Every structure is written in C-alpha cells, then in structure tokens.
Chain A
Amino acid sequence: MEKKTVEVTITKGGPIHAKGLFTFKDSSGHEETKEHDLYLCRCGGSSNKPFCDDTHRKIGIKE
C-alpha cells in the first residue's frame, strides 16, 4: 500500500479535521483502520462527541 501522510488540521474556531489512513479508536475501545475523513469536536460542547455537530458556532471556541 502506498504510504500517504495523514493530515490533521486544527480549524480556526472549529473542529479538528483528520483525513487519511489511520486507526480511529473511540473511548469505548472500538477501533477501525481505514481511510477516514473525520471532524472531531474540540469546543467541548458537541452533543455527538467525539464528533463535531457545529455547536462551536453557538458557544464559540478559543484558539
């Protein structure tokens, strides 16, 4: 398999965007290795953690 770097972007005022082939392990221990394209909450307010649900737009997020 061709090796590609996984890119993790901290978006300004928004979530963490993680894109590429990596293993994603959630807090219950479930893990999946594949091509992911995930938006992960970093404002602490999402109702769909660990994923972003756009709550940061309501509550704001510091840099």
Chain B
Amino acid sequence: MNMENIDNMDNMDNMDKKDRKYSNGEITVFWKPGKCIHATTCYRELIEVFNPRKRPWVDMDGAPSEEIIRVVKLCPTQALSFAYNKDLEQRNEKEGVITTEPEKVPEIRVMKDGPLVLHGEFRIIDTEGTELMPKKIQSLCRCGASLNMPFCDGTHRKTGFIGK
C-alpha cells in the first residue's frame, strides 16, 4: 500500500454525514462535498463518470478504473479521493470486519464508443498464447487504435471512435 492510499483511508475515516462513496468493485471513490469548490475539473474531464446533473452524480461504470483514478487525482481540493478495494478489504481483515463478496457470474460489458470491460473471473489469453494476470476489472480495446494493445488506453476519445 502506498502513502497516497493511506491518506485516502484517513479521508474515509473522517467521513461526514453528507459524504458519499462509490465503488465499481475494484476501487472506491470518496466524495466530500464540504471540500468541493466546484472547480468543474472532474466533469470537464470525464462527464461519463462525474455528471452533476445525474443522481447519483458519480457513475462508476462510466469509465475504466485507470481513467477514474486519473481524474480523481486532478481534483484541486481532494474533495474527490479514492482507494483500492483490496486495500480497504485488507484493512477490514486486520480489524476483524468480514467483507466477502458473493461469487458473481463474470460479465463482459460493451461501453458505448469505448472498450470492452470485463468484470469478474476470466482467463484471458493474449496473441502469443500467454495467460494474462487475473484482475477484477480489465478493459480491452475495441477501437483498434490503443498504443497498449490489447488493453484500452483511452485513445478512442482522441480518435472519436463510434461503436455501439
């Protein structure tokens, strides 16, 4: 666990009644409205996830975790922060809190104009026949332009990929 996450867990401990948290199974985003100065950075960067017109205003399914983390880090006031769920779970284990997730059928989700998002247990075999390290969430390119094939690296935004 790095220092950044430890800071974020302090944020979590100091949760106020108005504070909210949102999770996609891999990461949890914490929102402290009391700290928000409406700099609008989050929704200018990633309206698919941070949309103040929607309720709840944070949609964790709107983008891959890496993209959400990138934008959370841009928040100028740390009104937004995040932690990896595995770190939160480890901490809960230490404190004797049991947080076991029920086994779920794995899911492949097609993001509009974006990647395939794989949630859950999959065996992923790359073009060389090598099995990739399992991850709870994996985003695979479907625009054909990623510089980090076979994974999504957000290039679909630049190229204006359209795909249902």
The interface of chain A, by Cβ under 8 A from chain B, is 5-13, 16, 18, 20-28, 31, 33, 38, 40-45, 49-50, 59, 61-63
Chain A residue, CB-CB nearest to B138: A8
Chain B residue, CB-CB nearest to A22: B106
Q: Judging by beta carbons under 8 Å apart, are A27 and B124 in contact?
A: no
Residues of B within 8 A of A13 (CB): 127
Query: Which of these, A21, A27, A42, contacts B111 with CB under 8 Å?
Result: A27
B137, CB-defined interface residue at 8 Å: no
Residues of A within 8 A of B112 (CB): 27
Name the interface residues of B122-149: CB closer than 8 Å to any CB of A: 122-127, 140-145, 149
Q: Judging by beta carbons under 8 Å apart, are A8 and B125 in contact?
A: yes
B16, CB-defined interface residue at 8 Å: no
Q: Judging by beta carbons under 8 Å apart, are B108 and A25 in contact?
A: yes
Given contacts A5-B121, A7-B125, A50-B116, contact A33 B144 (CB under 8 A): no
Extra contacts besides A5-B123, A21-B105 (19): CB < 8 Å: A6-B121, A8-B124, A9-B124, A10-B126, A10-B140, A16-B142, A18-B108, A22-B122, A24-B110, A25-B107, A28-B164, A40-B108, A40-B142, A41-B163, A42-B141, A44-B145, A44-B161, A49-B142, A62-B149
B52, CB-defined interface residue at 8 Å: no
Taking the closest CB of chain B, its distance from the CB of A62, in whole angstroms, is: 6
